[in-house]
Structure 1
Amino acid sequence: MGLLVALAACGKPGPAPVVHRQPLLRVEPLPVVMQVPGVQQFAIGDWRRDGVAAPSPGTLLMGGGQEVPSAMRWFAERAGGGRLLILRASGGSDLQEYFYEEIGGVSAARTLVFTARSAAFDPEVAALIDRADAVFIAGGDQARYIRFWKDTPVQQLLTAHVQSGKPIGGTSAGLAILGGWAYGALDDGSIDSLSALADPLGQAVTLEQDFLQVPWLRDVLTDTHFGQRDRQGRLLAFVNKARNLSGQPVVGLGVDEDAALALEADGRARLHRLDPAHVAWLIAPQLPAEQLQPGQHLRQGEVAVIGINGESELDLGTLDVHAPAFLYRARTDQGQWQLDRLQ
């Protein structure tokens, strides 16, 4: 796969302004009576109130850790001042309160906390997803999302939501399932780089394809908490297994904690972050792995590893990175990951 890297400087992006309005109706974030087994609901604001504008497309890829206010404002603006729905499989109402009370720009926010797969077939749940102007998937355990939502109306409605031009976002486990390929963690663990590189085709590397169909991410495998948990090696292993299964080129996109990539409708993405040292990582093998077999470690050379910081711009249509933070050539052998810095 060819990969062009533009080195010209570009200006640091600033978040688009968001109109902050006083809420017309204040509802305490207490559980809402919902006669649906397997899900708990929280609500704040007036869900009956339409937005001031139509929702606009966009995808927020947040690596976990702390919320990044500029990225959250970017996402809230794309709701058009309307209804925000937060989906999760653990936790409570904290994210909806953060969006509604601190970020602003939405008429209402609701949270659905799934505890069983049965709730994904309920018409009341479906109606809430269908009515939402923006959907944000919280962190937690992506295996729960896959087990609860795969091959259900929830999965279909989330794809329909994106295809209708509405924004979607996720953090941590919520980001992990946004790629066209996703690490499902269905072995009830979280595999590390050494284990993944030792056996990329092994049963512990549980991948899902097209769980959600988000524009520009079809051939992208997303990963989270990236630099902080040394996940570069495991993402390369994931990418090679995905390529082995599909026969198509696949790239990896990892996002550090306290950072978020804001992906526009045209495929261009910019990074928002709390710490200047935190980046996003594009991992793009230039050649297939050598004789990849079950039970064998990954052996591969010529892997481009490109850093994306606040001054960079990633074009997912061409895989060009304008003003990269760094450029490495990576290789693996005997289960070890090695980097040579080129820039």
Structure 2
Amino acid sequence: MRPTPGPLVIIGGAEDKQRDCVILRELVRLAGGEQARIVVITSATEFPIEVGNEYVQVLTRLGAEEVHPLHIVKREDANAPFAVRLVERASCVFFTGGEQGRITRLLGGTQLDAALHRRHGDGLVLAGTSAGASVMSSTMIVEGEAETSPRPGIVHMEPGMEFLNGVVIDQHFAQRGRLGRLLSAVTKYPHHLGMGIDENTAVVVSGAECRVIGSGAVSIVDASALTYANVEFADRGEPLALCGIRLHVLPAGHRFDLRDRRPILEDAEPHRGDEELTS
């Protein structure tokens, strides 16, 4: 019987580390609870020691058996047998925030990269916050303008770590006004779903299904039914005309089918207006 790939825990950044810790507590549970062995990869951040120690403290407090920071600061580190051994015995690998391009530049194509894909295919839980969330997809947003309408040239994209295909992820979504740049991204790649994740919010992906946890919402942008766009005619910096794009906004407790591109509403709480109509 073929093994099942492990879940992905994709966090929009600024997750709660002091109070209820809903997201990180769920991460520890998925990783094995009291038997959880978590490796924290700090490649994205300019402060690896401080950030690594912070996650060691909070994940240990939440019950993980072992938490090991792994500081990859040059590509040789990602080919070191020690780094590969840590991943081989881990039940979860967590990518911190920072700059997503540093993760792909330091890890892409290395022995550690190969071990992560192999182990994830065997059931390893993979998680990432902020920049660590962006790298989960096959195509990632590296930088882009915020708080603007969709426009040509406002978003720069590069290959990600390829743990989740067919999705482009953006983080700190509502807090930094990033709908315009996500729309710009999916206009360039309409075969991809856009996934904008608010702060202290996460998507847990298992197979083709994802569920939302945390205090904010996840915005799913689907351009597959796009009927009109003036991308070929609009000058750089000029607002885009986009017609036929679908937008789903899903708070905690809601689920989405990534394969069928539809929300799963069977277990969702009814909208108050629906209750009034049926009462």
TM-score by length of 2: 0.80
Are 2:224 and 1:282 aligned?
A: no
2:79 is matched with 121
Aligned-partner Cα distance in 1 for 2:151–2:102: 26
Q: Which residues of 2 match residues 49-60 of structure 1 at below 5 A?
A: 57-60=6-9
**1:172–1:288 distance in 2 versus 1, CA, 3 Å:** farther
Task: State percent identity of aligned pairs.
Answer: 23
Aligned-partner Cα distance in 1 for 2:193–2:27: 24
Equivalenced residues, count: 252
**1:288–1:183 distance in 2 versus 1, CA, 3 Å:** farther
Contact 2:222 2:245 in 1 (8 A): yes
> CA RMSD of the aligned region, Å?
2.7
2:151 is matched with 198
Aligned-partner Cα distance in 2 for 1:87–1:290: 40
Contact 1:158 1:212 in 2 (8 A): no
Shift, 1:138, TM fit: 0.8
Aligned-partner Cα distance in 2 for 1:97–1:128: 18
1:108 is matched with 66
2:250 is matched with 308
Structure 2: gaps (5+ residues) = 270-279
Are 2:86 and 1:132 aligned?
A: no
Q: Secondary structure at the match of 1:114?
A: coil
Q: Secondary structure at the match of 1:76?
A: helix
1:319 is matched with 261
Shift, 1:264, TM fit: 2.5
Aligned-partner Cα distance in 1 for 2:71–2:228: 40
Deviations, residues 133-152 of structure 1 (Å, cap 9, x unaligned): 11111111112112212222
Of residues 273, 280, 283, the one that matches 2:214 is 273
Deviations, residues 82-137 of structure 1 (Å, cap 9, x unaligned): 31101112333101211111x11x32110112322332222222221222111111
AA paired with 2:180? G
Shift, 1:181, TM fit: 1.8
Are 2:105 and 1:153 aligned?
A: no
Shift, 1:198, TM fit: 2.7
**1:150–1:310 distance in 2 versus 1, CA, 3 Å:** same
Aligned-partner Cα distance in 2 for 1:130–1:191: 38
Q: Secondary structure at the match of 1:317?
A: coil
TM-score by length of 1: 0.66
Contact 1:88 1:114 in 2 (8 A): yes
Q: Secondary structure at the match of 2:98?
A: coil
Q: Which residues of 2 match residues 179-190 of structure 1 at below 5 A?
A: 179-185=137-143, 190=144
2:26 is matched with 74
Q: Secondary structure at the match of 1:229?
A: coil
Q: Secondary structure at the match of 1:194?
A: coil
1:141 is matched with 99
Contact 2:227 2:244 in 1 (8 A): no
Structure 1: gaps (5+ residues) = 1-53, 244-248, 326-343
